Structure formats: structure tokens, C-alpha cells
Amino acid sequence: MTMYEKAHELAKKYHAGQKRKNGEDYIRHCERVADMMYNEHSKTIAILHDTVEDTDLTLDAIENVFGHYIAVKVMALTHEKDISYLDYILRIKDDNLCAIVKLADLADNLNGATGTLRDKYLMAQWILEN
């Protein structure tokens, strides 16, 4: 089993039962983000990008299975509640791989987003691209 396949199984397990606002299984969002990536490492990070933020999977568990590099990247993509969204995006901007994953995440999130949420995603996209 490849690293990505292990990560996919783990993400499916931890996101099980979670739904998006449109009723779709949450894992589909993670799969679409991973599908936009270009190699096994980026796909692995992408499929796991919301697990620490949205489930009870820990960074220690990710590090134990996938190593320090993957855990650090997933941590960078985790929006901690005590920092502003802008500071979170600016932190990601400094890491090329995380910026690529976040841009894919934003592209998927923008599909169907409206109002202030859409504005927030567009602002983040602009910051990461410029």
C-alpha cells in the first residue's frame, strides 16, 4: 500500500459521517484536493489537510505513520483557532508546497461559496498567488 493509499484510508476513517453544507460526504472534498496534486507527497498532505482541524486525529499519529515531513506540512495547513485567518494564510504563503495545497483547497471551496465566505476565500487565493 502506498503512502497516499494509507493516508486516504486514514482520512476516510476520520472524516466518516462528516458532511459538507450541500450534503456531500466530506471526504470527497479532500479527494478532489488530492486529485489536483502532482506527486505522492503532495497528494498525501492534501488528503490529510483537514484531519487535524476537523477530526480527533492528532499530529503525533500522523507523524508516527507518515513521518515528520508530512506531519509538519499538515500542521502548517491546520488553522488553529487562536490565530486569525489572515495570519494563517500568511504563514502558508511562506511554504510553497502548503500554498499549492491550500490553493487547491480554496479552488474546491470556492465552488458554491457565496457572500462573505466567498470573499474570504478569494482574498486568501489572491494573497497566496501574489
- As annotated, the active-site residues are 53-54
Q: Is 51 helix (H, G, I), strand (E, B) or coil?
A: helix
Tell me which residue of 46, 26, 45, 50 sits closest to 34, measured CA to CA. Answer: 46
Contact 14, 51 (CB under 8 A): yes
DSSP code per residue over 60-119? HHHHHHH-HHHHHHHHHT---TTS-HHHHHHHHHT-HHHHHHHHHHHHHHHTT--HHHHH
